[in-house]
Amino acid sequence: MRFVNRTKGEQVLEEKKRMEELVEILDRAARVYYSGEDEIMSNYEYDKLYDELTELEKKTGIILAGSPTTKVGYETLSELPKETHIAPMLSLAKTKDVGELTDWLGDQKGLLSMKLDGLSIIITYEDGVLTKALTRGNGEVGEVITNNARTFKNIPGRIPFSGRMVLRGEALIRYSDFEELNQGSGDDESIRQYKNPRNLCAGSVRQLNNEVTAGRRVRFYAYNLIELAGEGDDLPSLSEGSKEDELTFIHSQGFELAPYKPVTGDGLASAVDVFAKEVAESDLPSDGLVLTYDDIAYSKELGRTAKAPRDSIALKWQDETAETTLIDIEWSASRTGLINPVAIFEPVELEGTTVQRASVHNVSILRELKLGIGDRITVYKANMIIPQIESNLTGSDTCEPPKRCPICESETELVNENGSTVLMCPNEACYAKQIRALTHFVSRDAMNIDGLSEATLEKLISKHYIRTCEDIFHLEKYRDEIISDDTMKIREKAFENLKNAIESAKKASLPNVIFALGIRGIGLATAKDIVRKYPDITLSGFLSITKEELLAVDGIGENLADSVIAYVNNDRNRELVEKLDSILQVSTPEISTSEAVLDGLTFVITGSLHTFENRSACKESIEKLGGRVASAVSANTDFLVNNDIHSTSSKNKKAKALGVPIITEAELRSRMEAIFP
């Protein structure tokens, strides 16, 4: 073996090369994170690489241009207007050591608060009314999202204070709302592209169409007063006094606060332990804690660095990790063609639960982790919630993406998507695509064909009675075979019901048909936006839509526009749409130009109706006026519509328990006077 002595210069060059790699990786991760797209690495992985870069900068004395250690955020990329902040929105210094946190606080009184994992927002109220809302952007310049902020579920429409108040807080989507939106009625299929509440929130807050934002259940939690101007002896001072007094004043104006506790050095460690338990059970996404000095005058004396204030510090969670053995990589196919890797490992206990699976997200991360079957790996729960692989102790790097689709055996393709390598099945006839695409096509918010469950579709496909969506409308020619086939379990009466459902589905609304096509990222809400923008468009005319026309639709950006164009430029898709156009009687829904008097309100409809033909007609009327109809009563419901307000039904009971008003059909119509005078 030959030993080579490296000179100091060679060592610095190697370290500089590694720094360049880290800057590139972190920059790409930040770009995806701040634009609200799916992350390419977890917070844990980002922090680890960030800390490595920081240490190399200290060691070498070199800070590369564009290093994330010198930047607060990432440049805004959307078409929203931009505006300079009245004061920079800085990042926080961070630690994972509670002892370091205690030393930092010293003999001062502090406020320890939950570090919420959403999108930082600065809002301004003047004369009691919300006049401006800005995202963090790059820390100096943010995006103007005032109209979107007005749709946040818990933000005050008017406050008692009549002067000027500027405060900072976090826009977020609660875990319960995120799960409900993902499993809900399917009004917005694009929600399912987001893996966690933080990403969905970032994408929702930055929508060009605030109707989309209104349906995403975004909430605002305040944590800092930036400016206060007005008259009165009771106003908290921004130059002296207590930050807790500031928070009390903010709360008195109707704002919800980020959960916090007053602390001193002696009780800080126990307060952190209490928060750790609360965070694990909380409905609010959180990625750590924030400690700030309570004394405002003392905080002002400390000033700030170019990147962070000196009066606050963040504690990042020391995630509980466990060592285990990788058993397998499972490749899961979807109707969009993506084949996603999932790690299967020997079960371990983490944060009180048994874990044996973790998403690897894409091929890029699979390769970065150098995974191989039998490798010893460490796993953790990101923010104590989502199982992730932390590191690979073996690094055998023997796992390769399958050359063929696990479902249809077609040759797979590696595709670059947003800077990451993903595995795709290009076969349009892939069984996984067929099942999921057809299930989507017949679903309630698409073609709404009762009697065609996923299990039934699987049997019809296996018998070759159905191959494409078009074949559903010719199913009657296989009537005798289906009825006589014992494995199908569809007898004459059931087949007649199915036939009638298929016949009824031929009369369809254009947004529902566009949604039914299963274009990646296009949900029902977006389909409605397209038709609202171009009310004269037909189903066959949709095939001629241009990218420029799509980009003119609120809420559609480059990625969604490219997705639609890729779909309509595909010969197989064009042929299908043209055949459907010849079969279906497609109507364009009436677009109300009246004021959206129900904008941002969520309704649940139950019981019998007297003046509406059915619940679908009632729902359609509500949606025309900007409202939303949900299937279940929750804390996010504004009104339960029930002509029997004294009913003891489960929905009435839940509405009363949650304080949700129960209104009759007549009361609903009175709120819809723009359409029903």
Task: Check residues 13 and 394 and name the one with the higher pLDDT.
Answer: 394
User: Is 0.85 topped by the overall pTM?
Assistant: no
Cβ burial of 429 (10 Å; 0-12, 13-18, 19+) is exposed
Confidence check: pLDDT of 388 > 80: yes
Report whether 129 contacts 161 (CB < 8 A).
no
112 contacts 289 by C-beta, under 8 angstroms: yes
- pLDDT of res. 582: 93
Q: How far is the first Cα of the chain from the last one, in angstroms, to the nearest whole number?
A: 92
* Whether pLDDT at 315 is above 70: yes
Per-residue pLDDT averaged across 373-402, rounded?
85
Indicate the range of 249-253, 364-368, 404-408 predicted with least confidence: 404-408
**What pLDDT is recorded for position 187?**
47
The pLDDT tens digits of the residues spanning 551-583 come to 888 668 787 889 899 999 999 899 999 999 999
pLDDT-based confidence at 300, cuts 50/70/90?
A: confident
Q: Which member of 59, 115, 316, 433 is catalytic?
A: 115
CA-CA distances (angstroms) from residue 346 to 363, 374, 469, 577, 581?
Answer: 22, 10, 41, 47, 52
Question: What is the per-residue pLDDT for 57?
Answer: 79
Residues 6+ apart with CB under 8 A from 289: 112, 113, 114, 115, 272, 275, 314, 315
What pLDDT score does 186 carry?
A: 45
Q: What is the mean pLDDT of residues 343-368?
A: 86
Would the pLDDT of 23 be above 90? no
Higher pLDDT, 677 or 641: 641
Per-residue pLDDT, 657:
78
Task: Report phi then psi at 546, rounded to 5.
Answer: -100, 165
Question: DSSP letters along 265-305, please?
Answer: TTTHHHHHHHHHHHHHH-SS-EEEEEEEESBHHHHHHH-B-
The band of 94, judged by pLDDT with boundaries at 50, 70 and 90, is: confident
Q: Phi, psi (5° rounding) for residue 253? A: -90, 0
- The token pair that represents 386 in the structure block: 């989502």
Phi, psi of 19, deg, nearest 5: -60, -40
pLDDT at 6: 44
Task: Read off the pLDDT of each residue in 5-34 and give the average, rounded to a whole number.
Answer: 68
Cα radius of gyration rounded to whole Å, the chain: 28
**For residue 532, what are its two tokens?**
């609202």
What six digits make up the tokens of 326? 């990788």
pLDDT higher than threshold 50 for residue 405: yes
Q: Residue 183 pLDDT more than 50?
A: yes
- pLDDT band with cut points at 50, 70 and 90 for residue 677: very low
Among the listed residues 257, 171, 266, 159, the one whose alpha carbon sits nearest the alpha carbon of residue 216: 171
Q: Is the pLDDT of residue 195 over 70?
A: no
Band of the pLDDT at 544, cuts 50, 70, 90?
A: very high
Please answer whether residues 97 and 53 qualify as being in contact, where contact means their C-beta atoms are separated by less than 8 angstroms: no
Average pLDDT, the chain: 82
Least confident span in 226-235, 469-478, 526-535: 226-235
Place of tokens 């509440």: 197
For a pLDDT cut of 90, what percent of the chain falls above it? 27
Q: Is the pLDDT of residue 649 over 60?
A: yes
Mapped onto helix, strand or coil, the DSSP state of residue 358 is strand
User: Residue 546's pLDDT band (boundaries 50, 70, 90)?
Assistant: very high
Among 247-261, 423-437, 492-506, the range scoring the smallest mean pLDDT is 423-437
Locate tokens 């010719």: which residue?
474
Least confident piece of the model among 15-29, 147-161, 445-459: 15-29
pLDDT digits (tens, 9 = 90+) for 128-161: 889 999 998 878 888 899 988 988 988 887 888 8
What is the model's pLDDT at position 14?
73
- Token pair for 610: 């007297």
Task: Mark whether 316 is an active-site residue.
Answer: no
pLDDT single digits (tens) 202-258 = 888 888 777 788 888 899 999 989 988 877 655 666 666 889 989 988 988 889 999
**pLDDT recorded at residue 326:** 96
Dihedral pair phi/psi, residue 508, rounded to 5°: -130, 155
Position with higher pLDDT, 318 vs 509: 509
Contact 369, 360 (CB under 8 A): yes
- Which residues lie closer than 8 Å to 355 by C-beta, 6 or more apart? 322, 347, 348, 349, 379, 381, 387
Cα–Cα distances in angstroms (integers) from residue 639 to residues 216, 628, 630, 635, in the given order: 17, 11, 10, 10
- For residues 284-292, average pLDDT: 91
Q: What is the dihedral of CA 471, 474, 476, 482, to 10 degrees?
A: -20
